[in-house]
Structure 1
Amino acid sequence: MNPFIALNHLLNFVAPAFVIAVVMVGCGQLFFRQRAKLIGWIKPVAINFIVGCAVLLAGLWYFGNDGKWLSYMALSVAIATTQWVLLRGWWA
């Protein structure tokens, strides 16, 4: 496997984590306007992306291959929970 193919596999593995991180931060900006202004975009996207990659790696380790629906469900729940904690959603 050459480096370009390896990079392609890596980017395809982490792409769902990045997309869901951006969508969750966008939803946070939409629904929690005042608190979301305080933390901006870059920090929450980075934190959500790191959490998402960790969840995908845990799913890869547990199932032995990637692309399982349970991994994607856990990814969505983990990133949503992280976004809720970042925006202090329990105060809403």
Structure 2
Amino acid sequence: MSTSTMPYVAFKVKDISLAAWGRKEIELAEAEMPGLMALRAEYKDEQPLAGARIAGCLHMTIQTAVLIETLIALGAEVTWSSCNIFSTQDQAAAAI
């Protein structure tokens, strides 16, 4: 009996070419999410989440991307999975 193994891929994105568009939308969303941006500004040097490993499964939207980047900016190691293919914003997934 033969077995084959697939190579490990850390991500699966429908269209990676949407990353630049997603990045622009993330930057716009940051301006509309002052709470998360204030957390980044206040705690980025302290890295309060250093050593934390956070796995999330939530709708992959531009706003979720801002949350993910905030967790990373505060020192966490983050892995994410979209919970619904129909709510995924492909440009957000590509940018992340």
State the structure with more CA Rg. Answer: 2
Q: Give the TM-score normalised by the residue count of structure 2.
A: 0.28
Q: Greater share of strand residues, 1 or 2?
A: 2
Q: Greater share of helix residues, 1 or 2?
A: 1
